[in-house]
Amino acid sequence: MKKVILYITTILFTAITSNALAIDLTKWKYCSEITLDSWAEKYVTADIIPEVYDVAKSDLSDIRIIDSNRRQVPYLLTKPKDITPKHKYLPDIINRSTDDKNNSLVTLDFGKQTINNYIEVETAGRNFRRAVKVEGSNDNVTFFTIVEQAFLFAIDNKVKSRFNSIDLPANDYRYLRITVAPMTTEQKSPVIKELRAFNRDKKLANRIPIEMVCVNHTEDKEKNLSIYEYNLKFRNLPISEIQLSIVDESFYRHITVDGRDASTRKVKIDSEDNRERFREVEEKWKSLTSGTVYRYSSTKGKKNERIALSIPSGKQAYRHLKITVRNYDDRPLKLETVSAKMVTHQIVFDAGNSLNASLYVGSESAIRPKYDITHKLDKPSEIKTTLARLSSLSENPLFGKVGQKPQPWTERHKVLLLIIMAVVVLALGGFILKSFKSIQSNQA
């Protein structure tokens, strides 16, 4: 009897769950088919495509996976992360001095041969660009050039506008000697306030390239700025970096990146009559990121370069990007091509017994769903999954139609539900009667 009640309860629970997972597809504008080449694992993983970012809410809360019975398939979103472990050293700072060219020199003593590939040099002042030379030695007598010329930048006195980092070829010298040269307009030696040394190992998540189309290029001769405008074609992409292609053999420039999703926007005009009137105004550019790019030769002619700008984690790129190159007293830096790279979100779900599933997106009224799968898979990146692909978005034929809302399971199977309820009542009645007789027998 207990088994019968348990079985019937399971059926009722399935019916209630099915009713809860039913969805009104008339509120979703777009859909995409999910294609699997094979089905080897319990869970399925698919990369979110750029078209989905463009039409979805910025937090992707309106994404739904729907099976062939128009029921929601629980899913979770995950995003691979870069792993960049960094070990910080605390070397002794020795031999502070200046030379006859007003260069400031300082030596770092690690105490023994130590592998390092990155230093930070903090100097006093604002609005400067100072050349830096880095040398290495194991006896503090004979030094070998590691970096022939790098630069320290400061645009103003704000922390985020100061660029103190210098990438080094991996080396294991005990001593590092840093020489900071003054600008031609400076009469005194630069003051080296603080130095830090690190060894870091970057393990980057997989990047997907995104095309950037150049739509405008101007030169501001008065301020010596090179200004480039690009179109990403899609909004809200999780861009991790912007890669530059530059012909020049040696350069060091400060670059800012601004963005906006549209060139103009409509503003309502107040009027005496009831008619709505609008005028178009130019949309302001919003700051996205900034940094320095460089290319120079170090010891033995080895080329060192940084020609990519990182986008802060959590920031979504705008559709239109403006790249401004500050050339200072140097000739304009020409950008050949520019491309973006994004670390896309992945959607993970249990395919169950049905491989026919589609992704729906583009609902203004949707709120973030809550599924148990988020608790089951606390480390989704570590499980084995079957890879799937999303097709290009197409318009949902049910969007905006009246009367297309799927009927709940309880409405579509009224007779079956009545039979199940009757069986449950009879089973419970029999169970109660049997228990009552058993109690009476024990008392007697």
pLDDT per residue as tens digits for the range 71-89: 899 999 999 888 888 899 9
Q: Are residues 123 and 175 in the same domain?
A: yes
422 falls within a domain: no
Let me know whether 73 and 178 are in one domain.
Answer: no
CA distance 318 to 159: 25
Cβ atoms of 161 and 154 within 8 Å: the answer is yes
The set of residues, in sequence order, having a beta carbon less than 8 Å from that of 137 and lying 6+ positions away, is 143, 144, 173, 174, 175, 177
Considering the domain boundaries, does residue 283 fall inside one?
A: yes
Q: Are residues 233 and 266 in the same domain?
A: yes
Give the tokens for residue 98.
Answer: 């200046």
326 shares a domain with 233: yes
Which pLDDT band holds residue 158 (cuts at 50, 70, 90)? low
Q: Tens of pLDDT along 179-190?
A: 999 998 898 999
Q: Report whether pLDDT(116) > 50.
A: yes
302 and 363 in a single domain? The answer is: no
213 and 335 fall within a common domain: yes
Domain span including residue 157: 86-200
Mark whether 182 and 222 lie in a shared domain. no
Of residues 174 and 350, the one with the higher pLDDT is 174
Q: What pLDDT shows up at residue 123? A: 93
The answer to whether residue 162 is domain-embedded is yes
Q: pLDDT tens-digit profile of 42-74?
A: 899 999 999 999 999 989 999 999 998 888 999
Over range 379-389, report the average pLDDT: 88
Domain boundary, last residue among 200, 229, 245 = 200
Q: What is the pLDDT of residue 417?
A: 60
Q: Which of 75-79, 418-422, 439-443 has the lowest mean pLDDT?
A: 439-443
Angle between helices 2-21 and 414-443 (to 10 degrees): 150
Q: Is residue 435 part of a domain?
A: no
* 24 against 37, higher pLDDT: 24
Average pLDDT over the chain, rounded to whole? 84
Q: Sorting pLDDT into bands at 50, 70 and 90, what band is 8?
A: very low
Return the pLDDT at 322: 96
> If residue 435 lies in a helix (H) or strand (E), which one and from where to where?
helix 414-443
Are 41 and 384 within 8 A, CB to CB?
A: yes
pLDDT above 70 covers a percentage of the chain that reads 83
Higher pLDDT among residues 117 and 162, named by residue? 117
186 and 307 belong to one structural domain:
no
The pLDDT assigned to 109 comes to 96
Task: Of 75, 38, 51, 64, give the one whose Cα is nearest residue 344.
Answer: 51
Q: Are 58 and 104 within one domain?
A: no
* Residue 431, domain member (yes or no): no
Indicate the pLDDT class of residue 19, thresholds 50, 70 and 90: very low
Q: 295, 320, 342 — which closes off a domain?
A: 342
Residue 319 lies in a domain: yes
Whichever domain contains 312, its CATH number is 2.60.120
Question: What Å distances lie between residue 177 and 110, 195, 202, CA to CA?
Answer: 12, 11, 25
Distance, CA of 216 to CA of 332 (rounded, Å):
16
Instruction: Determine the Cα–Cα distance for residues 212 and 291; give it in Å rounded to an integer.
Output: 19
More confident residue, 270 or 144: 144
Total domains in the chain come to: 3
Residues 278 and 378 in one domain: no
Residue 122's CATH number: 2.60.120.260
Instruction: Please give the single-letter amino acid code of residue 276.
Output: E
Q: Using only C-alpha atoms, what is the Rg of the chain?
A: 32
Q: Which two tokens stand for residue 285?
A: 């550019």
Distance CA 137, CA 99 (A): 19
Relative to beta strand 165-171, strand 86-89 is unpaired
Are 374 and 368 contacting, i.e. CB atoms less than 8 angstroms apart?
Answer: no
> Are the beta carbons of 78 and 346 closer than 8 angstroms?
yes
- Are 60 and 107 found together in one domain? no
- Burial per residue of 227-258, b for 16 or more beta-carbon CB atoms within 10 angstroms, e otherwise: ebbbebebbbbbbbbbebebeeeebbbbbbbb
Q: Please check whether residue 237 lies inside any domain of the structure.
A: yes
CB atoms within 10 A of CB 331: 10
Q: Kindly indicate the confidence band of residue 14, based on its pLDDT and cuts at 50, 70 and 90.
A: very low
Per-residue pLDDT band at 7 (split at 50, 70, 90): very low
202-259 pLDDT, tens per residue? 888 899 999 999 999 999 999 999 999 999 999 999 999 999 999 888 888 889 999 9
140: left (phi over 0), alpha (psi -120 to 50) or beta: left
Whether the per-residue pLDDT at 16 is higher than 50: the answer is no
**Residue 382, both tokens:** 């570590």
In contact, 118 and 200? CB cutoff 8 Å: yes
Q: What is the pTM of this model?
A: 0.72
Q: Is residue 63 part of a domain?
A: yes
pLDDT of 154 over the 80 cut: yes
Phi, psi of 55, rounded to the nearest 5 degrees: -105, -15
Whether residues 294 and 322 share a domain: the answer is: yes
Domain edge (last residue) among 182, 200, 218: 200
Tell me if residue 358 falls in helix, strand or coil.
strand
